[in-house]
Amino acid sequence: MKLEWEGIKSIKDSLLIGIYANPLHINKSSKGFKLHSAEPILEYRDFNSNESRYWRFDCIEDNQGDDIITPIVQKTPQPLQYELAEASHQNHIIMGSSFSVQNNWIKQVSGYGFKKNNKEFLSAIVLELDELYIIANAGEVVEINVTDKDPELIDDLIVTTAD
């Protein structure tokens, strides 16, 4: 496993606390929910330390028009506005729109994408929870699908925490 994918794998067995953005557009569809934002922030909490960490989804389009998504691991929800929280169950108070789910244990993480010039790039990241899938798709605006349906992705599996 490449060292660059260790940050993606480290979210496994954490709790998904929420998805934040300013603005975060949420639409109900027949398959679940679709969230859209230019730069969403995903908060997750480690079981052992109870400390929150964040993924900022960074997306670019390469010269050939392929969309690439990279989760950037951070200790704060920047660039969103936030304040430090004094509650033991919460690290930050985030100013912005939010979305959360129940049964939020992250059982598995997978990254799908493509290979180009002997390098691997991600176009989608899938979090498998107890009863749901959270699928973040690269694009000028990141689309996050929340569904109970097994995702059908066309790109190759690049990284996974599956045994």
Give tens-digit pLDDT for 22-40: 999 999 988 899 999 998 9
Angle at 61 between CA 55 and CA 66, to 5 degrees: 105
Q: Could you report the per-residue pLDDT of 57-87, keeping only the tens digit for each?
A: 999 999 899 999 999 999 999 999 988 887 6
Q: Are strands 97-99 and 108-116 parallel, antiparallel or unpaired?
A: unpaired
Nearest to 125 by CA among 153, 150, 90, 88: 153
Whole-model pTM: value is 0.90
Question: Which residues lie closer than 8 Å to 47 by C-beta, 6 or more apart?
Answer: 13, 14, 15
